Amino acid sequence: MDTEYIISSCPSTLKVFPAIFCIFLGLFSLQLYFRNTSKAITYWIFFGTIPSLVWNSNRLSEWFSEVFGLLGKDSFYLDGPVFPKLRYLVTCHPQNIEYILKTNFNNFPKGEDFREVFDILGDGIFNADSDRWRLQRKMAHAGFASREFKTLVSNTSQKVVEEQLVPFLAHVAEQGFSVDFQNVCSRIAFDITVSVIFGRYENYLSIELPSHELAEAGDDAQEAILYRHTQPKFLWKLMRMIGIGTEKKLKKAHKSAQKFIEDYITQKRNDLLAGVTTYDLLSTYIKALEDETSVVSSLPKKDIFLRDEMINFWVAGRDTITSGLTWFFWLVSKTPAVETKILEELKLVSSSSNREQETGCTDKWPCIFDTEDLKGLVYLHAAFCESLRLYPPLPFNRKSVVEKDQLPDGSKVTPGLEIILSFYSVGRMPWIWGEDCLEFKPERWIAENGKLITEPTSKYFPFNIGPRTCVGKDISFTQMKSVAAAVLFNFHVEVVKGHHVCVKPYVNLHMKNGLKVNIKKRSM
């Protein structure tokens, strides 16, 4: 074919080419449509499953569970628009999850997409992969495992519960008005988290229900990040470039959070220079970064690292504890048999002879439990394991793929595909947890000898598993048990009749309408 011919036939080529392209696109989409459409999930011509994804974006966790249930299997693909190509594998298959998070961990990093969506976490541990992550993990592990830090966690939880939570609830009980318990949990989680990370008491839970710029920045950021999860990348990037909508809100929230944390860091440096001894995470990190023998001393841009790491810890702690507590109280309030057993256990601990001598707890109101008491609360611990199974604060995790691989259930994964691990759905499949999987049964976690069962970890992922297991798992139980023991023993929490509980579209699993409750004082 000579050049002259090509030029002379150009106008008709220009007409024919789009037509050929459209026919190809149509055939390809039809093939996709006929191959995949089922009752469980609709594949649309040209758009794949993206319309279904967008349609269900405000109830992703529930939608995934419905699709798994209808398909009767633990994995399915979500195909994006034909052009550009987007593909997800959604799975709740326990062996797949174990393979991705543990057995072949190195093949499934967080990846670039994760970092883009969560860019506000900067250089922090959640966004890190490979060697950089290993270094940060080592550092975090050392901080969380220290005896002094664990003591600080117990003391601060007890202090915040005694000085803020109990007086606040006593006030609500006296006034007789109803209160949004999710808001109470969010405020107490904020105060507890800020106290262990920054060594500060912000009194965000107090009778006046004050506003707090850092807490509000966190809420705004969550909303915008969820939007990024459910919209095509080009759309939110365009919004970010122009500075409109949720992206505008996110930018403001990010700046505000950074400024707040930078101020905390400056004040902490001054305290340390003045010789104040503290064991909160911020102090530990400042000291380590200044110590030339420390593993993190070689890190570049130390100030940015310090700020971003603290933002990561704060985000990691606050919203998970809020979610863990709120769903727990709701489940307990609607399961009186469980509440009775928790109270019996608390009564036993509160009236143990040693304790009575030390605190005289049975005679006085309110009764606050300390770390030693909490260790003995097996049934309460089991109740938390069970509520986290049904309502994991982080309902899913995302992973990318480095090399072509096949998962234990036979699903094929290739680079470019994103894998969504649906922790929420794992706890809700009858073939994984039994026909009674939707029932709240702490007994699932207690062996015949009365000890806690740890075996179901092969199908239990609320804290992740493998090398990236949550570093805050132990402190979470201390904090949540400390709050739950004090609240249940001293108050009766009753959900307002007719209040509708449903899941909020958020990165963390929160309640859309909050949790409206009435509080009454309880004397045991």
Residue numbers in the known binding site for heme are 470
Residue 127 touching ligand HEM (CB under 6 A): no
If the CB atoms of residues 125 and 224 are measured against ligand HEM, the closer one turns out to be 125
- Cβ 248 to ligand HEM, closest distance in Å? 26
DSSP secondary structure of 305-333: HHHHHHHHHHHHHHHHHHHHHHHHHHHHH
Q: Where would I find the H helices in 243-377?
A: 245-273, 281-290, 302-333, 336-350, 353-359, 371-375
The footprint of ligand HEM on this chain (CB under 6 A) covers a number of residues equal to: 24
- Cβ 223 to ligand HEM, closest distance in Å? 19
Which residue of 125, 361, 380, 465 would you call a contact of ligand HEM, by CB under 6 A? Answer: 125
Label residue 122 left, alpha or beta by phi (over 0 means left) and psi (-120 to 50 means alpha): left
If the CB atoms of residues 110 and 355 are measured against ligand HEM, the closer one turns out to be 110
Instruction: State the binding site.
Output: 470
Residue 56 touching ligand HEM (CB under 6 A): no
CB atoms within 10 A of CB 203: 16
- Cβ 393 to ligand HEM, closest distance in Å? 4
- Cβ 295 to ligand HEM, closest distance in Å? 15
Q: ω before 84 within 30° of 0 (cis)?
A: yes
Encoding tokens for residue 454?
A: 């740890």
If the CB atoms of residues 165 and 475 are measured against ligand HEM, the closer one turns out to be 475
Encoding tokens for residue 212?
A: 């707090």
- Closest by CA to 88, choosing from 80, 97, 96, is 80
CA distance 361 to 341: 19
Q: ω before 366 within 30° of 0 (cis)?
A: yes
DSSP annotation of 507? S
Residue 475 touching ligand HEM (CB under 6 A): yes
- Cβ 281 to ligand HEM, closest distance in Å? 8
- Cβ 196 to ligand HEM, closest distance in Å? 7
Binding segment toward ligand HEM, per CB under 6 A, in 22-30, 158-166, 392-400, 511-519: 392-400
Sign of the alpha-carbon torsion through 224, 229, 232, 238: positive
Residue 132 touching ligand HEM (CB under 6 A): no
Binding segment toward ligand HEM, per CB under 6 A, in 18-26, 155-163, 167-175, 465-473: 465-473
Which residue of 48, 324, 395, 427 would you call a contact of ligand HEM, by CB under 6 A? Answer: 324
Residue 317 touching ligand HEM (CB under 6 A): yes
- Closest by CA to 198, choosing from 187, 207, 190, is 190
Q: What is the rounded (10 degree) CA torsion for 4, 10, 12, 14?
A: 160
Residue 472 touching ligand HEM (CB under 6 A): yes
Backbone angles phi, psi at 446, to 5 degrees: -120, 125
Encoding tokens for residue 450?
A: 């009365």
Which residue of 160, 306, 321, 390 would you call a contact of ligand HEM, by CB under 6 A? Answer: 321
- Yes or no: say if 265 and 310 are a contact pair by the CB < 8 Å rule: yes
Triad 217, 220, 223: Cα angle to 5°: 150
Binding segment toward ligand HEM, per CB under 6 A, in 11-19, 24-32, 158-166, 389-397: 389-397
Residue 313 touching ligand HEM (CB under 6 A): yes
If the CB atoms of residues 104 and 359 are measured against ligand HEM, the closer one turns out to be 104
- Cβ 131 to ligand HEM, closest distance in Å? 13
Residue 188 touching ligand HEM (CB under 6 A): no
Which residue of 92, 226, 310, 316 would you call a contact of ligand HEM, by CB under 6 A? Answer: 316
If the CB atoms of residues 380 and 475 are measured against ligand HEM, the closer one turns out to be 475
Residue 468 touching ligand HEM (CB under 6 A): yes
Which residue of 91, 96, 411, 476 would you call a contact of ligand HEM, by CB under 6 A? Answer: 476
- Cβ 445 to ligand HEM, closest distance in Å? 15
Label residue 360 left, alpha or beta by phi (over 0 means left) and psi (-120 to 50 means alpha): left
For the segment 83-102, give every residue that binds ligand HEM (CB under 6 A): none
Strand partners, 357: none
DSSP secondary structure of 24-67: HHHHHHHHHHHHH--SS-PPBTTTBTHHHHHHTGGGHHHHHHHH
Which residue of 463, 489, 491, 506 would you call a contact of ligand HEM, by CB under 6 A? Answer: 463
Collapsed DSSP state (helix, strand, coil) of residue 119: helix
- Closest by CA to 331, choosing from 81, 475, 511, is 511
Encoding tokens for residue 262?
A: 């930078």
Q: Which residue is nearest to ligand HEM (CB)?
A: 472
Which residue of 82, 470, 495, 524 would you call a contact of ligand HEM, by CB under 6 A? Answer: 470
Which residue of 222, 335, 397, 478 would you call a contact of ligand HEM, by CB under 6 A? Answer: 397
CA distance 316 to 387: 19
Q: Where is 29: in which H helix or E strand?
A: helix 10-36
Residue 306 touching ligand HEM (CB under 6 A): no
If the CB atoms of residues 239 and 394 are measured against ligand HEM, the closer one turns out to be 394
Binding segment toward ligand HEM, per CB under 6 A, in 2-10, 334-342, 468-476, 500-508: 468-476
CA distance 386 to 380: 10
CA distance 89 to 76: 6
Q: Which residues bind ligand HEM (CB under 6 A)?
A: 125-126, 137, 140, 193, 313, 316-317, 320-321, 324, 388, 393-394, 397, 462-464, 468, 470-472, 475-476
